[in-house]
């Protein structure tokens, strides 16, 4: 499995790709491929990766925006706090 990290922080993890071929010594990026059980490159789907990306060979498979995951958690906490405040204000108005 291969993870590609873009300069923006967005990451893509590929389940079935496990081979890499660099274009012009890596100056133009790389092509990612899958392989057959005998080790030969399969003829299926492949991906071109720009040179400014980081290519990692790691396990978990998902796509995500790493920079925004913590921001999303903070936003959920703020929403929960606002809901509590609205409930308290509603009780005060009702009295």
pLDDT digits (tens, 9 = 90+) for 6-61: 999 899 888 888 888 888 765 788 888 888 778 777 776 688 899 899 888 876 55
What's the pLDDT at 69?
65
- pLDDT at 74 exceeding the cut of 90: no
Which of helix, strand or coil describes residue 68? helix
What's the pLDDT at 80?
92
Q: What is the pLDDT of residues 58-72, one digit of tens each?
A: 765 566 666 666 777
What's the pLDDT at 93?
87
What's the pLDDT at 45?
65
Q: How far is CA 33 from CA 1, 30, 38, 47, 92, in A?
A: 10, 10, 14, 7, 63
């Amino acid at each position: 499995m291969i993870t590609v990290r873009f300069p923006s922080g967005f990451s893509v993890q590929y389940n079935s790709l496990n081979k890499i071929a660099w274009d012009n010594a890596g100056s133009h990026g790389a092509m990612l491929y899958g392989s057959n059980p005998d080790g030969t490159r399969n003829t299926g789907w492949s991906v071109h990766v720009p040179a400014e990306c980081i290519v990692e060979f790691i396990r978990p498979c998902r796509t995500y925006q790493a920079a925004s995951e913590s921001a999303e958690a903070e936003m959920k906490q703020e929403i929960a706090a606002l809901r509590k405040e609205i409930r308290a204000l509603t009780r005060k108005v009702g009295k």
